[in-house]
């Protein structure tokens, strides 16, 4: 059975949180109804203490059996009047999927994501539109922003970032030694997103070497890692929009500018492109190009970047 990609699980968790925050009407349509359609009718069979059985199988790491118990729990919760038990069980299932490759390869995991394929696309479209509208309001509420993509570091800043990079790299090394590719893709995406703006920071070469070694055995790893980072960036921008936090929003956008300009296949690519363009229009409208320092290819640029599609 084909393994469910980790970035799809990350994106489901993002969308599940958003739907839960919006209340029952959104959760019913996009979270409950897909499972109701998958199962067809209520589960009337006595199942005993499914939660206790699930915990026992999780402890024994019997993920095929655990997946079937999750299936029975979803069947029971999908038709309840209260959506909270279903959301809680969904969250637990998705977190287990993140950490357990054996669970990601089960038949039910595949059927589960097929059942949610179109509902999640619809939900993602709604979330994207809300973020796109919100980012306009964020920029409209400000008249200034300091957009820095390539940082010149002081000695103290470099030392602090190198210490942070060392701590994260140690965690990467441990995950690599365990062969934990799920944790590795998460940590490597975290390292890339955190330090892509800082070419002077240590351990970048060592991280690239680990990625190359993994990709030699698993060609899909790099794309899944970058896709996980794209989902996290969009999530960070969405949170910044909710708080009208232009600094965090711009940091997410500039990380995207550096990291993903060459990859057209990533989640939220069109949304991130559009958000990037909105940032440039904001800079142009307020004549802030003197505040911008872009370095997407090695040499610093302090002039407006070419718009997409221009020669």
**pLDDT per residue as tens digits for the range 74-88:** 999 999 888 899 999
Q: What does the pLDDT read at residue 48?
A: 72
Q: Who wins on pLDDT, 55 or 254?
A: 55
Query: What's the mean per-residue pLDDT of the chain?
Result: 85
Phi-psi region of 139 (alpha: psi -120 to 50; beta: other; left: phi over 0): alpha
Residue with tokens 């199942």, as numbered in its chain: 47
What separation in angstroms does the CA of 263 have from each of 223, 226, 298? 9, 9, 18
43-55 average pLDDT score: 84
SS3 content of the chain, % helix, strand, coil (to 5): 70, 0, 25
Continuous H helices in 79-147:
84-99, 101-104, 107-115, 117-140
Strand, helix or coil at 225? helix
Q: Who wins on pLDDT, 203 or 285?
A: 203
Number of CB atoms found within 10 A of residue 12's CB: 24
Strand, helix or coil at 293? strand
Q: What does the pLDDT read at residue 9?
A: 95
**pLDDT per residue as tens digits for the range 175-221:** 999 988 889 999 998 898 888 777 788 998 899 999 999 999 988 89
Q: What does the pLDDT read at residue 308?
A: 46
Q: Who wins on pLDDT, 282 or 14?
A: 14
**Banded pLDDT at 306 (limits 50, 70, 90):** very low
Tokens of 278: 């909105």
Radius of gyration (Cα) for the chain, nearest Å?
Answer: 22
**Banded pLDDT at 307 (limits 50, 70, 90):** very low
Q: What does the pLDDT read at residue 105?
A: 94
Tokens of 58: 């999780």
Measured CA angle at 280 (ends 274, 281), to 5 deg: 90
Longest dimension (CA), the chain: 69
Percent of the chain at pLDDT above 70? 88
- Quick check: 48 and 84 in contact, CB under 8 A? no
- Quick check: 151 and 198 in contact, CB under 8 A? yes
Indicate if the pLDDT at residue 301 is higher than 70. Answer: no
**pLDDT per residue as tens digits for the range 157-168:** 889 999 999 999
102-125 average pLDDT score: 95
Q: What does the pLDDT read at residue 304?
A: 42
Q: What does the pLDDT read at residue 302?
A: 30
Residues 6+ apart with CB under 8 A from 38: 78, 111, 115
């Amino acid at each position: 059975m084909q393994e469910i990609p980790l970035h799809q699980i990350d994106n489901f968790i993002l969308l599940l949180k958003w739907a839960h925050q919006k209340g029952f009407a959104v959760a019913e349509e996009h979270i409950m109804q897909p499972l109701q359609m998958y199962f067809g009718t209520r589960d009337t069979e006595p199942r005993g203490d499914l939660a206790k059985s699930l915990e026992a199988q999780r402890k024994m790491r019997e993920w095929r059996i655990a997946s079937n118990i999750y299936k029975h729990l979803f069947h029971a919760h999908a038709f309840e009047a209260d959506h909270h038990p279903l959301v809680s069980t969904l969250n637990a299932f998705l977190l287990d999927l993140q950490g357990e490759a054996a669970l990601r390869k089960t038949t039910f995991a595949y059927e589960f994501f097929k059942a949610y394929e179109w509902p999640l696309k619809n939900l993602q479209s709604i979330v994207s539109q809300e973020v796109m509208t919100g980012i306009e309001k964020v920029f409209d509420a400000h008249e200034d922003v300091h957009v820095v993509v390539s940082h010149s570091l002081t000695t103290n800043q470099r030392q602090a970032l190198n210490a942070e990079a060392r701590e994260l790299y140690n965690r990467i090394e441990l995950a690599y030694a365990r062969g934990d590719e799920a944790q590795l893709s998460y940590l490597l995406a975290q390292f890339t997103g955190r330090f892509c703006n800082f070419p002077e920071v240590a351990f970048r070469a060592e991280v690239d070497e680990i990625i190359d070694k993994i990709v030699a055995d698993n060609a899909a790893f790099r794309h899944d890692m970058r896709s996980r980072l794209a989902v996290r960036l969009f999530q960070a921008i969405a949170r910044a929009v909710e708080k009208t936090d232009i600094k965090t929003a711009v940091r997410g956008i500039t990380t995207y500018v550096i990291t993903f300009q060459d990859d057209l296949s990533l989640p939220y690519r069109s949304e991130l492109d559009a958000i990037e363009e909105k940032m440039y229009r904001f800079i142009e409208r307020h004549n802030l190009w003197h505040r911008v320092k872009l370095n997407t290819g090695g040499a610093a640029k302090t002039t407006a970047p070419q718009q997409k599609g221009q020669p």
